[in-house]
Amino acid sequence: MSVAIGSTGACQRECARAAPWTGSGANAVTVQGTTTGGNFFFVRGSVTVHMAAPPERVWDLVSDVTKIGRFSPETFEAEWLDGATGPAPGVRFRGHVRRNGWGPVYWTTCSVVTCEPGREFAFAVGNGLNTWRYRLEPSGDGTDVTESFELADKPALRLYWALLGPFRGRTNENGMRTTLERMKALVEAGGTAT
């Protein structure tokens, strides 16, 4: 059973100690845990932006990692690895990241974990420390696009979030919103990210 930080029990106390910041508003970063089999820690966050474009057009932007540099405030370039030329489950790519928009700068290797054209694209960073996801839902005159992240339940990430959670949570939320708003501007203007 998954419970939010506001529920009762040992999980609430453990999660509150590990990650005191839970964000605000409809697109908040949340800390959750489970009461089945002991305490469980994970952090996730999401932002949703409506785009006046069909899912297929949005898909082209979110699933081609070589285009991310036009949108992301942190990942300024990416390239497919191992001869891959596009997304598919298991395909690897690497992203060139400028952490927090100013540094440090490093490459990180990722693996595609979900690839459902027009619906969902997700990738795991490194050996599964963090999973980033784009979900596309048809809505009215276009598509609701949700970008999200979820940290793995690992002691090092618990410590990281306890120390830097308030700052990093806001950074992730702002970065996801910036990425999606930049995609929205392009796709609604009828452009492509070539």
Whole-prediction pTM value?
0.77
Residue 74: half-sphere exposure toward Cβ, Cα within 13 Å = 17
Q: Is residue 177 part of a domain?
A: yes
Residue 162 lies in a domain: yes
| Residue 101 domain boundaries | 2-188
Whether 193 is covered by a domain: the verdict is no
Tell me the two tokens of residue 53.
């474009």
Task: Read off the CATH number of the domain in which 54 is found.
Answer: 3.30.530.20
**Cα-based distances in Å from 92 to 111, 155, 182:** 4, 26, 25
Residue 194 lies in a domain: no
Give the total number of structural domains in the chain: 1
- Residue 100 in any domain: the answer is yes
pLDDT tens column, 137-149:
999 999 999 999 9
Measured from the Cβ of residue 151, the count of other Cβ atoms closer than 10 Å reads 25
pLDDT tens digits, 101-123: 777 999 999 999 999 999 999 99
- Per-residue pLDDT reduced to its tens digit, 6-45: 322 333 333 333 333 344 444 444 444 433 344 445 577 8
Share of the chain above pLDDT 90, in %: 56
Q: CA 140, 142, 144, 145: dihedral to nearest 10 degrees? A: 170
